[in-house]
Amino acid sequence: MPQGNAAHVATHRVHHLADGRQAIFFADASGIVPEWVHDARALDPRGEPGELRYDRLTGDWVAVAAHRQTRTYLPPKDQCPLCPSVDGRQSEIPAEDFDVVVFENRFPSLGPALGQIPEVPTEQVPQPAYGRCEVVVFTPDHAGSFASLNDERARTVVQAWAQRTKELSAMEGIAQVFPFENRGQDIGVTLHHPHGQIYAYPYLTPTARKMADQAVKHLETTGRTLMGNILEFEQAEGTRMVVQGKHFSVFVPYAARWPVEAHLVPHRHVPDFAALNEEEKDELAIMYRDLLRRFDALYDTPTPYIAAWHQAPLAPKERAASRLHLQLTSPRRDVDKLKFLAGSEAAMGAFINDIPAETTAARLREVTL
Peptide bond into 126 cis (omega under 30): no
pLDDT recorded at residue 21: 98
pLDDT recorded at residue 123: 87
Domains in the chain: ranges and CATH: 11-203 (3.30.428.10), 208-366 (3.30.428.10)
Query: Can you give the pTM of this predicted structure?
Result: 0.95
Which three-class secondary structure state does DSSP give residue 34?
coil
pLDDT recorded at residue 3: 39
Pairwise CA distance, residues 89 & 99, whole Å: 19
Q: Exposed, middle or buried, 348 (CB in 10 Å: 0-12/13-18/19+)?
A: exposed
pLDDT recorded at residue 142: 96
- Find the helix or strand (DSSP H, E) in which 266 lies: strand 260-266
Q: Exactly one of 12, 15, 192, 195 is catalytic; name it.
A: 195
- Closest by CA position to 51, among listed 124, 103, 105, 122: 124
38 labelled catalytic? no
pLDDT recorded at residue 1: 40
pLDDT recorded at residue 9: 58
For 151, residues 6+ apart whose C-beta sits below 8 A from its C-beta are 285, 286, 289
Which three-class secondary structure state does DSSP give residue 273?
helix
Written as one letter, the residue type at 89 is R
Tell me if 81 sits within 8 A of 103, measured CB to CB: no
* Exposure b/e, 314-334, CB count within 10 A at least 16 = b: beeebbebbbbbbbbbbbbbe
- Three-class secondary structure assignment of 284-344: HHHHHHHHHHHHHHCCCCCCCEEEEEECCCCCHHHHHHCCCEEEEEECEEECCEECCCCHH
Tens-digit pLDDT profile for the chain (369 aa)? 443 334 445 689 999 999 999 999 999 999 999 999 999 999 999 989 999 999 999 999 999 998 888 788 889 999 999 999 998 899 999 999 999 999 999 999 999 999 999 998 988 999 999 999 999 999 999 999 999 999 999 999 999 999 999 999 999 999 999 999 999 999 889 899 999 999 999 999 999 999 999 999 999 999 999 999 999 999 999 999 999 999 999 999 999 999 999 999 999 999 999 999 999 999 999 999 999 999 999 999 999 999 999 999 999 999 999 999 999 999 999 999 999 999 999 999 999 999 999 999 999 999 988
**Helical segments of the chain, H only:** 151-169, 206-222, 226-237, 278-297, 316-321, 348, 357-366
pLDDT recorded at residue 10: 62
